[in-house]
Every structure is written in structure tokens, then in C-alpha cells.
Amino acid sequence: MPYRAPVDDYTFLFDHVVGLGQVVKTDRFSEATSDVTAAILTEAGKLSEDIMAPLQRPGDLHPARLENGVVRTSPGYADGYKAIAEGGWVGIAADPEYGGMGLPMTVTTAVNEMMSAACLSLQLAPLMSQGQIEALEHHASDAIKELYLPRLISGEWTGTMNLTEPQAGSDVGALTSKAEDNGDGTFSVTGQKIYISWGDNDFTDNVCHLVLARLPGAPAGTKGISLFLVPRNLPDENGNAGVANSLKVVSLEHKMGLHGSPTCVMQYDGATGWLVGPEGGGMAAMFTMMNNARLGVGGQGVGAAEGAYQHALAYALERKQGKTKGETGTIIDHADVRRMLMGMKADVFAARAIALSCAVAIDMTTATGDAEWKARAAFLTPIAKAFGTEVGMDVAHQGVQIHGGMGFVEETGAAQYSRDVRVTAIYEGTNGIQAMDLVARKMMDGGEAANRLLDEIEEHAEAAKEQFPDLADAVWQASESLREATDWLNGQGDLQDRFAGAVPYLKAFARVLGGHVHLKAAVADAGGAREKLARFYIQRLLPEHVGLLAHAQAGAGDLYALSVDELAA
């Protein structure tokens, strides 16, 4: 069956699980009423279903290519991007002063997820622009804002982020790109950047690069890094894209997936740029963009999972194989196929709810400036990114399995979801880095943000015990186990002991959060499909937290028990 935007799921989550209502009650987002939100979701769903989904396979079969120094995009992508831009979807959360809709990040997250499910390669283009828009809103000068933001928000121009270099991946402080002051308010930027998503295209007038580089005499490491806005074409006196800047696309990466999205090696040879933020403030400014992107990438994982699930469900409803006693006569009646489909659907719901909960915390921070909301948003961001992308990979993997041998055949389209989503666990900070951030930086408060979340989970479980005693007790007990593990991690002075169990701890936290949101759904839909799905998740998937927490509290000793020679033997 073709992709169907799960608008009803978002509406249910907004109303009954993640608490969008509290966001709308603030002055900042008071115009995002249920009627407005419903209209936005419906229109974004139509765009995703009718315009973007048909571009999924063409982008895979006909990748972007570099031709005489110009990136040529996949068939139909220009029209697809035009529809995104003209619909105002690039600037959905951007400041209305510069042409944005000013809607909550929660609504933006839902829209971006739908677009990711429909065509992840193309969705990356507006996602990159959205991150740049937010960075410029927070850190750029008024002159830069006035020139660039309206054009980025309208989609007339697109934006990128340039961090990685051949020798400086996750260790951004090792970069060697340099910038020199021209004495006229501009800087000359020189260096090479790799893995630049949508570093160029053939359907917008300009591409604006945010580039990390080091000024002369700047200290080593991240403290010496500054951020520069370097456009492909220099704006003329009227603000239009003018002459070409001194930069070029050297090559496009030959990737496992996301073939429709050009991933560029960029070369800057004294290219003209403008400083964004203070000298040495590059990482602070870039983290604004990266944190936006981390939630967005988590949503990409959920979107890919939704697309893969729908693709697998359609096949299971059609494929006849073996004897069945169910209602359809197809493989969907087999117990193991049902196990996979139920697990896929339950995990998509959990990951989607976690991402939207993170977005609500971001919106409440924006609207109120409250420190507790800010801490919650920071705490949930690595969980939303890592769990969302892990679910994306797992669901896409199960989708191939449901297709059987045909899943290994490219023509069915099942493998594309698995190939496309795989990189989401790597970019914007690998999932291992997300987990290390969770157990280190995000635990610098002594576990306060974590424990406030656990308090809420247990309070809701207590309230739900009369209605669903078995489900509520399971969630409450899991939360207590997670609290004990959190206390253990906070008691470890050696960060290696924390880092050794960081990934299983993050997944355990996500599992418990998943139980919490499913219990909320069961309470709101007692006797309905959502209660049935919650029972599956809480009874079959939530118990995984036990083994994960045992792993999380094992320390680092056994990881180093084998010498390097023994590992290689």
C-alpha cells in the first residue's frame, strides 16, 4: 500500500500523552490551537503522501551526481523541494518576523517525521536549513538575520552545517580549517570539509554554509573555534545571489543509502564569509544547530520506521505462504510475523512519543525560560536521537525479514529503508556519543533531571493502578530499577565505568519511558487498540530493561580484560 501519514497518531499523542496543551496555554504558542494543528498535520500529510512518497524510489535508483562541478539532483526532487518551500514547511518553527510560521517544535517534529517517512533523502534538505535558521536566529548579527533568514525560511536559499574534516570527526577540536580577517567585516575561509549533506543542489539560487574554522592565534581545541557563514554565491547590493564564492564541491560520497541526498566533500579556498557569534564562540553557536538536528534525526529514525512498517504490513497482507488458520490466509496470520509487526508498531509509538515529549520540553523552555524544562529537554535529546534511530534501524531490519527472500531483492523497496536509515545512528553525534553525553554531562546535576522524570512515571503508574494494576505495577517496578541504576552511575567516580554501560543505560531509560507512554495511551483508550498495543509493549518489550540495566552497572573492567593482542588472536 502507498504511504499513509499517521495524522491520527500525532493528534492522539498531542492530546493524551505528551501534553501539547500546556504549550498552547503559553503566550508564545497560544495561536497553535487544535484547529490550527489539525490543519497543519493534514496538509503536511498530503504533501508527504502525494508529493514526497513517489520520490522515494527514483532518488534511490537515480542518485544525485556531480557534473562539471555542479550537483545534479535526482528526478523529481526539484519539484518536490519547490512544493516543500512554497508550502512554508522550511520555516514552520521559524520567527514570524522573518517569514516563519512560529509554530511549536512539537508540531514541527511531527511534520518532519512524516516527510522523513515519505522520502528521507529529500527531507534532509529542509532539515539542514531549519537547523541553520535556528542558529542564525540565536547567534547572528541583525544584518545577517535581515539578509539571510527571509531567504532561508522561504526556501529560496538552503543551508548546511560544515563540521567534519578528514582528520576531525567526532573530535571537532582537531579541525584545521582557518579563517583570516579581511579588515572589512568579512573573513577568508580556507579548508576542506567532508560529509556535508546537501552541500549543493541545482534547484535553489544559493546554498549557505555554516563553517567551523580557526582564527590566527586562536587556542587549540574547541575553545579556539569560530563559526562563519559562507554562501555559495555572494549576495549583491540587492540581496540576490551574485557571483560565485571561492568554494566548490570536490566530490560526492558513494553511500550505502540516501542516494538522493548529495553528501559533499567541500573545498574552501579563501572563500568570503561572515562571523556568526563571537570569536571562539563557534561550538556554542553550532551546538544550537546540532541540538535541533539531533531531535530531527531522531524523528528521521521514527519516520523511516513508520515507512518500513507500512511497507512490511502491506506485504504481509498480500503474501500467501504456508498453512494459516487466521482471517486473511496470508503470512500476517503466522504468529512470528505477528510478533514482528506488533513489535514494530509498539516501538514506533514509543519512539515517536519520546521525540514529541522532548519537543514539548523544548517548546516549554522557549516559552517560559524555566530551568527545569530546559534540563528536561537537554536530558531527553540524546534519548530521542539514539532510541529513535535504533528503532528506525530495527524496524527496517524486521521489515526486510517479513519480506523473506524478497526483502533481499531491491525491487521490493524493503531494503532501501534499512540502507537509508543506517546513517542516522552515526551522524549528528553517534549513538554511543549520545549515551556518553547522557551519563556524563546530563548527570552533572546529580541525577535531578532523571529522577524528576522517574517521579512522574511512578506518579502516573500509581494513578493507573486501579484501572490497570498489572500494567501499572510493571511500569512502576521498572522505573524503580532504573532509579537504582541511575544512582549507581552517579556514584561512579571513574567515567570509564559510566561509559562502559552508557548505551544499555540509555536504551533501558527509553524502554521505561516507552512503558510510561504506552500506559498513558492505555488509560486514554481503555478497551481499544492502544490498550492492546500497550499490553504487548509492557509485557514483552519492557522486561528488556532488566538485562540492559545489569549491563549498565557492570563497570568497565571486563571490557579491557583482553589485551589488544588477545583481541586480534
Quote the distance between the C-alpha of residue 261 and its chain's center. 16
* Beta pairing, strands 225-231 & 187-197: unpaired
**Rounded Cα gap, residues 44 and 113, in angstroms:** 10
DSSP secondary structure letters along 480-491: HHHHHHHHHHHT
Q: Cβ atoms within 10 A of the Cβ of 221, count?
A: 13
Q: Which residues pair with 179 in a beta bridge?
A: 189
- The label of the residue with cell 510560521 reads 101
Torsions phi, psi for 231 (to 5 deg): -80, 150
Q: Which of 168, 279, 271 has the alpha carbon at shortest distance from 218?
A: 279
Q: Which of 113, 137, 428, 458 is catalytic?
A: 428
What is the three-class DSSP state of 387? helix
Active-site annotation holds for 113: no
> Helices 282-318 and 335-368 sit at what angle, rounded to 10 degrees?
150
Specify whether the CB–CB gap between 297 and 399 falls below 8 A: no
Specify whether the CB–CB gap between 245 and 232 falls below 8 A: yes
Q: Is 215 left (phi over 0), alpha (psi -120 to 50) or beta?
A: beta
**Rounded Cα gap, residues 88 and 492, in angstroms:** 48
Residue type at position 150: P
SS3 of 44-71: the string is HHHHHHHHHHHHHHHHHHCCCEEECCEE
Q: Which of 148, 133, 249 has the alpha carbon at shortest distance from 199?
A: 249
**Rounded Cα gap, residues 89 and 81, in angstroms:** 10
- The label of the residue with cell 592565534 reads 217
Quote the distance between the C-alpha of residue 8 and its chain's center. 21
Instruction: Tell me which residues are annotated as active site.
Output: 428
